Structure 1
Amino acid sequence: MRHPARLEHGSLLGGRYRIISVLGIGGMSHVYKAEDLKLPGKFWAIKESITSVSYEGSMEAEAALLTSLRHPRLPQIVDFFVPDEEGYTYLVMEYIDGETLSEYFKKCKGKIPMEQLTEFILQLLDVLSYLHGLNPAVIYRDLKPSNIMIISDNEVKLIDFGIARSYKSNHVEDTVKLGTAGFAAPEQYGSGQTDARSDLYSLGALMLYLMTSGAYTEWIQGVEGAIRSDVPRTYIPVVRRLLRLSPDERFQSAEEVRKELLRRPGIATSRGETTLTMSGGTRVIALTGASSGVGVTHTAIAISHYLERQNFKVAVIEMSPRSQSFSRIQQIIQSGKPLSSGRQFEVDGVHYWKQSGRADILSLLGGSYQFIIMDLGSGQDQNRLEEFLRADLPIVIGSGAEWRQAEIHAFVRSNHRFPRDKWIYCLPLASSDAVQRIRKSLDTSSVYSLPLNIDPFDREPHMDKIFAHIFTHMIGQLPKKRSFFARRRAGV
């Protein structure tokens, strides 16, 4: 219900503030840009509302709330005009010179660079942590692109506290249901009282909106296919948890979300504010072949069962579209039994996924796996190359034979435009001389020879030693156990 504007260009408010232009129009307010006649050259934002509208966030309450807040990502209140005889009231606040996230989003054609997107989310978590940490906590309740301002140097500020409220511990639900459809938590529509977790739901909706170029704000069928290819896959389980319908199943605080994001690989800011490790979350190891027949599947299986023996929950995914390796393995382990109709089967604790695609990966990332091993095969179609480049640990499998070493160099040259600082190179059965030559030519020490390992499902001490060295920054040493194939041979 929109009320008529009382001010226009040239209007004078309180004998001090001259209206210059309209900044925005909402359902229950107008916002103007005004010049301060007592401080020449100083500009303010003035919010005009009518107090008679039947919603909880009256202008008096908003003014009292905002004047008590002190945070660099919140506007400062400098003046307040009580309602006149027609109910019009005015709030004078800091003028923020910038553009809304909604406007910035459109300017970027729906694809805000990931580094900036990450900065925005971390800054929003910072201000939400402040608001929720007050006593009583302040719940913003309307986190959406048009209420987020982007100013110089990618700084974020929240605006429009018209429906913010203080948390009431003795209330079962909110008196008034307010929020923006698509970004508001379910409890804002009558299922309970809003609290800090309601703002976190809205943050998840905002993240998904930006990650899908504006296509989705809810986690529903088909959303996986709309997620931008440059979004770090480790964002997926965070967003899915933020968007749980039950508040008890979401993250419980902004600080909890921040810590979860910061311990996931691939998150950095241009300000150098974050230092990341590879601990926590689901880690993805992707293997691709410099050429065909170099042992990508064999090595992927060996890595999977090595990690499972360290008591990690592991899935290995077959991404090569023409490979039948996993189907043959399934036929062996289920010989004499009807084959399951699904694409997933288990070998000695490792979950195998046959003929999988990107949607499967996103789904698995939202589960409980600690490691996902991707068998990309050889060849470089765009989808598999993207998965390789985005992995926490990309591994190139090549041949150590002298006449085939050029294949590794050709693979590197064809991908020279991509950062290779975390790539690992594994050469099955390569001599120490071959390893040294390739280390020198590629200018990296991350080249390893893999010993003979006839049964990749079982423990091989020399192979385990190399894997322990490669993965030392990702895992610890835990008790081992025998594999399915070893037990089968022993008749156990």
Structure 2
Amino acid sequence: MIEKPSRLEYGTIVGERYRIIRTLGTGGMSRVFMAEDLKLPGKQWAVKESVADTHMMKLVRAEAEMLISLSHPRLPRIVDFFEHLRSGAVYLVMDYIEGMTLEAYLKGYQGRIPQEQIIPLALQVLDVLDYLHTRQTPVIYRDLKPTNIMLTPEMEFKLIDFGIARSYKAELDQDTVKLGTVGFAAPEQYGAGQTDARSDLYSLGAILLYLCTGGKYSEWTAGVEGYIRGEVTRHLIPVIRKLLRQHPEERFQSAREVIEELRRSTEFQPAKHEASVGGTSLEYAGTRVVAVLGVSSGSGATHTAIAVSHYLARRSRSVALVELHSTAQAFARLQAVVERVSSGQTSSSRRFEVDGVHYWRQTSRADVISLLGGSYRFIVLDLGSAPDNERLEEFLRADYPLVVGSGAEWRIQEIAGLARSFQRHPQDKWNYCLPLAPLEAVQRLRKELNHDKVFALPYHSDPFERAAGMDQVLDELFRGVIPYTRKKRFGFLKRQR
């Protein structure tokens, strides 16, 4: 437990932005609080407060630096980090993940969660472990256990609490600090050697055995086979057994190797609605960004961004449309109409809603980073035309960059010119949209750019409403990337109603 008292209590404002609401948890050398964002009304974050001596503070700073460098949909996103020098406290502001731990989920099913959920969970854990272990400097989590895995109401997995993770150093024979949770930590974490990727794989094996035995066992001991649930597929047992070998060289050597082993059995093939991530079939859990850039003023970027947002909202859920320009006026005019505000007046809130799409007007890049840490499935960025460096960077890093330009004969070279000006940047994922363009213009531009993702957008007078022609084009543009949208709930909660 923390030896020093916390400075935080209900109502305390941290970093001049985050108001503490309640305590989420306490353990080790830190406390975690829920906080509301004073700059983004309605947004909540988890604030981790660490108070320790000078030596331990170095570990906390190292944790912050490591987390900030990571980017994966199943890892907590760090949005702020600061220190309070007088008290020696350090604060990490990160995603608040709504849901419950795997441990609580297991208890909700009296130890017998549906066996068909075990393999998908394993694949999700392996996906994030593969990401961590294949960094330029591999990251070893070292504390994989049911209480450090969060499940959202949509059954999306998140890995939390990087308190004892470390960067792997090949020149070391063993760890300087021996940490881990008894029952889930690999033998080498108790002094037998240095932890590496195979240590995390041991912990995964312990979790799988724990799930398969209804929470009774996490270590492979004599007679444990008799406690494995009868409905668990037999193909999984040798995988767990190999993960739990005492000597690292006898285990699977990488997360990718385990993934391939699981995929060899047709019994583990995913349902058709699941998406493929890095060759592994998993349901996508992160936020995807669509950036809409106009080639020139009046090219229809905002109109297209609105149409795309409402299309995605009808087929997915939780969509934000962001006006990434601090002086733009389009969303302000729209908000005045939606909220019936008198002309010339400006609402105090920069967020408003139209048919399930959250509109964010005159938004800064810092606010976009905060929104990325939220629960939106898609964020559509309206970049306008002639973007500055920051907006251009957001376009280049987006998952789905959309360039909107005129298909008129005398203006089509504007798009070709934009593509040439950024030829040093990869453009394979760019999409070019030409409102009201004839088929000949589309074919000509495809040939000139040597790029097949060029689309003619049909006449669409009301971008808020569904139009069959526009939907048909956007179906093609977003083919294979709209996630499965059936609302899921924790099964045992439904039974209790």
Alignment partner, residue 164 of structure 1: 165
Deviation at 1:269, TM superposition (A): 3.6
Secondary structure at the counterpart of residue 217 of structure 2: coil
Alignment partner, residue 60 of structure 2: 59
1:142-153 superposed matches below 5 A:
142-153=143-154
Q: Which residue of 2 aligns with 1:2?
A: 2
Q: Which residue of 1 aligns with 2:256?
A: 255
Measured after TM superposition, the shift of residue 76 of structure 1 is: 0.7
- Contact 2:51/2:57 (8 A) holds in 1: no
What secondary structure, in the 3-state scheme, does the structure 2 residue paired with 1:168 have?
coil
1:46 to 1:163, Cα distance in 2 relative to 1, 3 A:
same
Residue 120 of structure 2 corresponds to: 119
Q: How does 1:448-459 map to 2 (within 5 A)?
A: none
Q: Are the counterparts in 2 of residues 51 and 83 from structure 1 also a CA contact under 8 Å? A: no
Structure-to-structure mapping, 1:20-99, within 5 angstroms: 20-52=21-53, 58-99=59-100
Matched residue, 1:427: none
* Structure 1 counterpart of 2:72, one-letter code: H
Structure 1 residue 36 displacement after superposition: 0.4
Distance 2:90 2:19 in 1: 16
What is the letter of the counterpart of residue 260 of structure 1? E
Structure 2 CA distance, aligned partners of 1:238 and 1:75? 28
Q: Secondary structure at the match of 2:237?
A: helix
Query: What per-residue deviation string (whole Å, max 9, x for no partner) do you get for residues 337-385 of structure 1?
Result: xxxxxxxxxxxxxxxxxxxxxxxxxxxxxxxxxxxxxxxxxxxxxxxxx
| 1:391-411 Cα distance to aligned partner (Å, 9 max, x none) | xxxxxxxxxxxxxxxxxxxxx
- Cα shift at 1:271: 5.5
For 1:138, the equivalent position in structure 2 comes to 139
Mind listing any 5+ residue stretches in structure 2 that lack a counterpart? Answer: 277-497
Q: How far apart in 2 are the matches of 1:203 and 1:6?
A: 36
Which stretch has the larger CA shift, 43-52 or 238-247? 43-52
Paired with 1:77 and 1:215, the residues of 2 have a C-alpha distance of 35
- Pick the structure with greater CA Rg: 1
Q: For residue 22 of structure 1, what is the amino acid of its counterpart?
A: T
Match of 2:204 in 1: 203
Offset at residue 53 of structure 1 (A): 7.6
Equivalent residues of 1:141, 1:198 under 8 A apart: yes
Residue 39 of structure 2 aligns with an amino acid whose one-letter code is K
1:95 deviation in Å? 1.3
Give, as a single letter, the amino acid of the residue that structure 2 aligns with 1:70: S
Secondary structure (helix, strand or coil) at the match of 1:154 reads coil
Find the residue that maps to 2:143 and give its secondary structure.
Answer: coil
Kept in 2: contact 1:188–1:194 (CA 8 A)? yes
- 1:94: Cα distance to partner? 1.3
Amino acid at match of 1:122: L
Q: What is the CA-CA distance between 1:268 and the residue it aligns to? A: 4.0
The alpha-carbon deviation at position 154 of structure 1 amounts to 1.4
Matched-pair identity in %? 60
Taking the aligned partners of 1:110 and 1:134, their CA distance within structure 2 comes to 35
1:255-334 map, 5 Å: 255-270=256-271, 272-273=273-274
Alignment of 1:159-198 (within 5 A): 159-198=160-199
SS of residue paired to 2:41: coil
SS of equivalent residue, structure 2 residue 267? coil
Instruction: Quote the offset at 1:50 in angstroms.
Output: 1.6
TM-superposed CA distance for 1:114, in Å, is 1.5
CA distance in 2, matches of 1:188, 1:56: 22
The aligned counterpart of 2:349 is none
Note closer, same or farther for the CA distance 1:54–1:105 as it changes in structure 2 (3 Å cut). Answer: farther
- In the superposition, the TM-score normalised over structure 1's length comes to 0.54
- The CA RMSD over aligned residues, in Å, is 1.8
Alpha-carbon separation, structure 2, partners of 1:56 and 1:194? 22
Following TM superposition, by how much is the alpha carbon of 1:19 offset from its aligned partner in structure 2, in angstroms?
0.8
Helix, strand or coil at the partner of 2:154: helix
Specify the SS of the correspondent of 1:58: helix
* AA in 1 matched with 2:262: L
Match of 1:16 in 2: 17
Of structures 1 and 2, the one scoring higher in RCO (CA 8 A, sep 6+) is 2
**Deviation for aligned residue 1:83:** 4.5
Matched pairs, number: 275
Point out where structure 1 has 5 or more consecutive residues left out of the alignment.
276-492
Deviations for 1:16-45, whole angstroms, at most 9, x for unmatched residues?
A: 111111111212211111000111111110
How far 1:96 sits from its partner (Å)? Answer: 1.1
